[in-house]
Chains A and B, each alone.
Chain A
């Protein structure tokens, strides 16, 4: 077996085996060796798989054939493995693709539990606590002048309480988003739908500050973006939130969108009222923003990703972020996102299956062609 082929198959996350009709292993990648004890040149001792290979040899099952088996025991538990058996596009025999579905389910379960824990046990109680803290102060010291005359210690305790509540609420909202939507997704997002979702997301914050978001789409046709709608909205909202909270003079925001080449440029500016540049460096630390406007009842308020995470979300969508500045002040955030689907979205399993289907059916097609030819 060519060494570079072994390197190629070892780079796959899913297990991959090629076995002969007799069940002798011809090729195994590293991921497959994690699931089974494999010796190239020896018969594979996984009877549930061998039964299906034998069935395929006799034509009892139609390939590709997917089935599940229990994996090897580890720590008293046996994971479920999803196997897909198909004809091998390399030198005959059978190709087996193996995926650990317990691992995937366990991961999703952990993330979901974590998000629920953060929300129910921390986020919502902390939001309630922050509200009550404010009310308690009014109840204890009803007179405004007396409240303003409180000592530094009392004021500091109140500020710390609000700050901790804000951070915990942000983390809970972040966990909720993480459980709800993977960052790396391939949803088809028309840009106008993204803008509409962003406007809806930003409305409570803008209304609370009596600001407007002006949108100028330009005359050109806008492309679609492929990615995670929820995360992109949250990242763009992060820039708007930063603009709203840090501009020197409160003024309406403007969102400009222009396609150019294979990219789309989104510019968020503050009608010329600049932001002090020095404040941006702090904002590039995760979770440095304050709470947004309060959400609906029972929901956590603003996510406040912080510009560092916003930038990472944009970069995970193969985009980039920069800011324009004049005389040391930021005048606009400019985001660039690639238009269309990612060029590298080739699924190796799909490629192998496509090749196998062609190999199988092209022969039949040639036969049909020969039969159709007039004698």
Chain B
């Protein structure tokens, strides 16, 4: 039997967090939420999730790119897959996400099918890497 995956959603818009939670709870995942970059970063350290869904533009002292960079710089956390969520979707934003160390990018509005497929493929990649 496969272990329940822990997924952390870091997103300031509560509606989007609810939609993501609702979608991911269709699978057998344990979902946690943070509403800004700082609390998200603390939760990443405390939970050590299997995957992080991370909004790019958030109010507060850490935006999505900065949280992603912190995850990549922290030994023990640096291999956690990070999927960035953005409403901008311009080439420069993808490039900035790549430089910050993100594994995948979802542009809002995204479909739940796209979300599930991206999450599944990132989780499968880490399972493959650890096998």
Contact = CB atoms under 8 A, between A and B. Distances in A.
Say if A and B assemble together: yes
Contacts of B23: 358, 362, 365
Contact of A223 (B13, B19, B61): B61
A365 B66 contact: no
A357 B61 contact: no
B15 A340 contact: no
Contacts of A366: 26
Interface centre among A223, A356, A364, A368 (most CB of B within 10 A): A223
Nearest to A368: B113
A188 B13 CA distance: 19
A340 B37 CA distance: 9
B111 interface: yes
A275 B110 CA distance: 54
Interface residues of A, number: 32
A170 B26 CA distance: 60
A3 interface: no
A259 B61 contact: yes
A350 B110 CA distance: 10
Interface string A358-375: 101110111011000000
A11 interface: no
Given A341-B58, A345-B57, A354 B19 contact: yes
B77 interface: no
- Tell which of B15, B26, B61, B87 has the most Cβ of chain A within 10 Å: B61
A341 B109 CA distance: 18
A346 B13 contact: yes
Contacts of B66: 223-224
A364 to B, nearest CB: 6
Contacts of A361: 111-114
B12 A357 contact: no
Contacts of A368: 113
A239 interface: no
A202 B60 CA distance: 29
A358 B111 CA distance: 6
Interface of B: 12-13, 15-16, 19, 22-23, 26, 36-37, 57-63, 65-66, 87, 96, 108-114, 116
Nearest first, the 10 A-B pairs at minimum CB distance are A341-B57, A354-B109, A361-B111, A223-B61, A340-B59, A343-B59, A353-B109, A340-B60, A339-B61, A357-B111
Interface of A: 186, 188, 223-224, 226, 259, 261-262, 338-343, 345-347, 350-351, 353-354, 356-358, 360-362, 364-366, 368-369
